[in-house]
C-alpha cells in the first residue's frame, strides 16, 4: 500500500526546511503573486528554487499555491510564472480557478495540478469531473464527514487530499466575503483579515442581545483529526494536509513530527491504541495555542466545536531554544535563544530523530565563556551541557506543569 503523504505548510524557506527535516513528505508554499495568503508569503522564485533543491535531498516535494481567484488584471505574468515553476522542478500547483487550471495544462504540462479546497469538492461526481479535465489531485472540502470521504473514495479515481490539522472557516472554506466587506481585504485574493474572529455586539430590534462585557465572535475551533488518521488512511486518502502557512517554526516542527510518528506507527503496527492517541494529543498540545475539535469528521459541528465570545488563543512560551550544534564528545549544545528562560529550569529536547529528552539547564554560558543566569534576548547564542545525546536542528522547550489543557 502506498503510504499517505504528509503535507505541511511553510511561510518561508527556514520553515520549509524545518517541516521537511521534521518529517513532511511535501510542503506547500505560496509565491509573492497569484496566491492566497500572498501577504504572508516570503517565497520569490530563487527561494522556491532553493526550497525545491532542499526538498530533493530528502526525497520530498514542493507544491506551490496559485490559488487566487484572478481578475482580468491578475492574469499578467501568470503564464511566465507557471513556466518558471515547471522549470525549477516544483511538483504541483494548487489551483482554485478554472482559468489557471486550463492555462497550466496548456503551458506547463509537467506540473501536477491540484484542485484547491476552495472548490468545495464533497463527492465523487465532482472528482470525476476534475479527472476529465486532466487534473491530478483534488483537495477535499474541509466540510466533508468521514462517511462522505469513505463513500467518495469508493468511486473516485483521482488521488484526494484531506485536511487533518489547523484553522477552519465558519463559512464554507473559500466562499466567504466577510473580510472583503469589513476591511476591503479580499479573502479570495490573499487578504482574509479573519473578521469572523473579531468581537461583535449583537442587536435585535435595536436592543442588545447580551451585556457589553460578553461580546460575540464566530470563530470555529481549529481542526485536530488525530483520532481519524487511521480511518482516513483506510479510506484511501492520498495526502494529509496541515493548515497554517503563518505558523511558527516551533509549531510546525511539533505538529509535523507528531503526525509523522502517528502515521508511521499505524503503518508499522496496523493500529494505534487509545493510550498512544492520548500521547500524540499531548505532544500536539505543546505547540497548540487555540482550542481544537474534530471539524466535520464526526458530522456537523455542534456548539462545543465553536468559540463564542472567547478568543481561545494565547502565545506559547514553551519554545526556548534551537540547537545549532551538539558536540558528542563534550556533550555541549550550542543554542540559539528563542524565548527567555533561566538557569535551573526543567527542559525537554526533541527532534526529527531525538525522542523527548528531559534535562535540567544547570549551566549556561555565552560565546565569551561568561556564566549566564537568564537567557533574555532572542537569537543570542548560548551554550549548555546536555548529557543525553541530541542533534543539530533539535529544539528545546520549557516544561510547564500547569499548562492549560486545551483539549
Q: Does residue number 169 form part of the binding site for ligand SF4 (CB under 6 A)?
A: yes
Axis crossing angle, helix 13-21 with helix 45-57, rounded to the nearest 10: 10
Q: Does residue number 42 form part of the binding site for ligand SF4 (CB under 6 A)?
A: no
Angle at 173 between CA 201 and CA 22, to 5 degrees: 110
Contact 323, 334 (CB under 8 A): yes
Q: Does residue number 179 form part of the binding site for ligand SF4 (CB under 6 A)?
A: yes
Binder of ligand SF4 out of 88, 170, 246, 324 (CB under 6 A): 170
- For ligand SF4, which is the closer residue by CB, 60 or 169? 169
- For ligand SF4, which is the closer residue by CB, 186 or 380? 186
- For ligand SF4, which is the closer residue by CB, 50 or 193? 193
Strands 239-242 and 160-166, sheet pairing: parallel
Instruction: Determine the interface stretch with ligand SF4 among 171-179, 204-212, 318-326, 370-378 (rule: CB under 6 A).
Output: 171-179
The DSSP annotation for 203-227 comes to: EETTEESS-TTS-B--EEPEEE-GG
Binder of ligand SF4 out of 120, 183, 194, 357 (CB under 6 A): 194
Q: Does residue number 253 form part of the binding site for ligand SF4 (CB under 6 A)?
A: no
Contact 130, 160 (CB under 8 A): no
Q: How far apart are CA 53 and CA 201, in angstroms?
A: 50
Instruction: Determine the interface stretch with ligand SF4 among 29-37, 88-96, 168-176, 208-216 (rule: CB under 6 A).
Output: 168-176
- For ligand SF4, which is the closer residue by CB, 122 or 179? 179
DSSP 8-class letter at 3 = P
Q: How far apart are CA 252 and CA 242, in angstroms?
A: 9
Cα 93–chain centre separation: 17
For ligand SF4, the binding residues in 209-238 under the rule CB under 6 A are: none
Any bridge partners for residue 160, and if so which? 138
- For ligand SF4, which is the closer residue by CB, 196 or 284? 196
CB of 301 to ligand SF4, least distance (A): 13
Binder of ligand SF4 out of 45, 75, 151, 176 (CB under 6 A): 176
The DSSP annotation for 57-87 comes to: HTT-EEEEEE-----GGGGTTHHHHHHHHHH
Q: How far apart are CA 272 and CA 257, in angstroms?
A: 16
Any bridge partners for residue 357, and if so which? 349
- For ligand SF4, which is the closer residue by CB, 281 or 290? 290
- For ligand SF4, which is the closer residue by CB, 155 or 311? 311
Q: Does residue number 171 form part of the binding site for ligand SF4 (CB under 6 A)?
A: yes
Q: How far apart are CA 384 and CA 364, in angstroms?
A: 5
- For ligand SF4, which is the closer residue by CB, 128 or 185? 185
CA neighbor of 389 nearest in space, from 323, 326, 317 = 326
Q: Does residue number 196 form part of the binding site for ligand SF4 (CB under 6 A)?
A: yes
Number of residues that bind ligand SF4 (CB under 6 A): 11
User: What x-and-dash track marks residues 307-346 binding ligand SF4 by CB under 6 A?
Assistant: ----------------------------------------
- For ligand SF4, which is the closer residue by CB, 246 or 372? 246
Instruction: Determine the interface stretch with ligand SF4 among 48-56, 142-150, 170-178, 295-303 (rule: CB under 6 A).
Output: 170-178
Helical residues (DSSP H) of 64-201, grouped into ranges: 78-87, 98-107, 124-132, 146-155, 178-183
Binder of ligand SF4 out of 90, 96, 178, 255 (CB under 6 A): 178
Burial class (CB in 10 A: 0-12, 13-18, 19+), 296: buried
C-alpha cell at 145: 464527514
Binder of ligand SF4 out of 192, 361, 364, 375 (CB under 6 A): 192
Q: Does residue number 195 form part of the binding site for ligand SF4 (CB under 6 A)?
A: yes
Q: How far apart are CA 151 and CA 11, in angstroms?
A: 34
CB of 228 to ligand SF4, least distance (A): 22
- For ligand SF4, which is the closer residue by CB, 195 or 254? 195
Binding site for ligand SF4 (CB under 6 A): 169-171, 176, 178-179, 187, 192, 194-196
Amino acid at each position: 500500500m502506498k503510504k499517505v503523504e504528509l503535507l505541511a505548510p511553510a511561510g518561508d524557506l527556514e520553515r520549509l526546511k524545518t517541516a521537511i527535516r521534521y518529517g513532511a513528505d511535501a510542503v506547500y508554499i505560496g509565491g509573492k503573486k497569484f496566491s492566497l495568503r500572498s501577504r504572508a508569503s516570503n517565497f520569490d522564485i530563487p527561494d522556491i528554487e532553493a526550497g525545491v533543491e532542499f526538498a530533493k535531498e530528502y526525497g520530498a516535494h514542493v507544491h506551490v499555491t496559485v490559488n487566487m481567484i484572478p481578475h482580468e488584471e491578475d492574469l499578467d505574468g501568470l503564464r511566465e510564472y507557471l513556466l518558471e515553476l515547471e522549470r525549477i522542478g516544483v511538483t504541483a500547483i494548487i489551483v482554485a480557478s478554472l482559468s489557471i487550471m486550463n492555462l497550466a495544462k496548456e503551458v506547463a504540462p509537467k506540473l501536477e495540478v491540484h484542485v484547491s479546497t476552495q472548490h468545495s469538492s464533497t463527492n465523487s461526481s465532482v472528482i470525476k469531473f476534475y479527472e476529465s479535465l486532466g487534473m491530478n489531485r483534488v483537495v477535499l472540502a474541509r466540510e466533508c464527514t468521514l462517511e462522505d470521504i469513505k463513500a467518495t473514495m469508493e468511486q473516485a479515481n483521482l488521488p484526494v487530499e484531506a485536511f487533518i490539522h489547523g484553522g477552519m472557516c465558519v463559512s464554507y472554506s473559500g466562499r466567504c466575503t466577510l473580510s472583503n466587506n469589513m476591511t476591503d481585504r479580499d479573502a479570495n485574493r490573499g487578504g482574509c483579515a479573519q473578521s469572523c474572529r473579531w468581537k461583535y455586539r449583537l442587536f435585535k430590534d435595536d436592543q442588545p442581545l447580551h451585556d457589553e462585557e460578553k461580546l460575540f465572535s464566530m470563530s470555529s475551533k481549529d481542526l485536530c483529526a488525530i483520532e481519524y488518521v487511521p480511518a482516513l488512511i483506510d479510506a484511501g486518502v492520498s495526502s494529509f494536509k496541515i493548515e497554517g502557512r503563518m505558523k511558527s517554526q516551533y509549531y510546525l516542527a511539533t505538529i509535523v513530527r507528531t503526525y509523522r510518528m502517528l502515521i508511521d506507527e499505524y503503518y508499522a503496527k496496523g493500529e494505534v491504541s487509545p493510550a498512544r492517541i492520548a500521547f500524540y494529543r499531548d505532544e500536539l498540545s505543546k505547540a497548540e495555542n487555540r482550542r481544537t475539535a474534530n471539524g466535520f469528521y464526526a458530522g456537523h459541528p455542534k456548539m462545543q466545536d465553536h468559540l463564542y465570545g472567547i478568543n481561545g488563543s494565547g502565545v506559547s512560551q514553551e519554545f526556548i531554544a534551537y540547537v545549532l550544534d551538539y558536540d558528542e564528545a563534550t556533550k555541549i549544545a550550542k543554542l540559539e535563544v528563542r524565548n527567555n528562560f533561566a538557569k535551573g529550569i526543567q527542559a525537554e529536547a526533541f527532534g526529527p530523530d531525538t525522542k523527548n529528552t528531559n534535562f535540567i539547564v544547570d549551566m549556561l554560558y555565552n560565546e565569551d565563556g561568561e556564566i549566564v543566569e537568564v537567557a533574555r534576548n532572542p537569537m543570542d547564542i548560548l551554550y549548555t551541557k546536555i548529557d543525553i545525546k541530541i542533534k543539530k536542528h533539535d529544539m528545546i522547550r520549557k516544561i510547564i506543569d500547569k499548562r492549560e489543557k486545551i483539549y
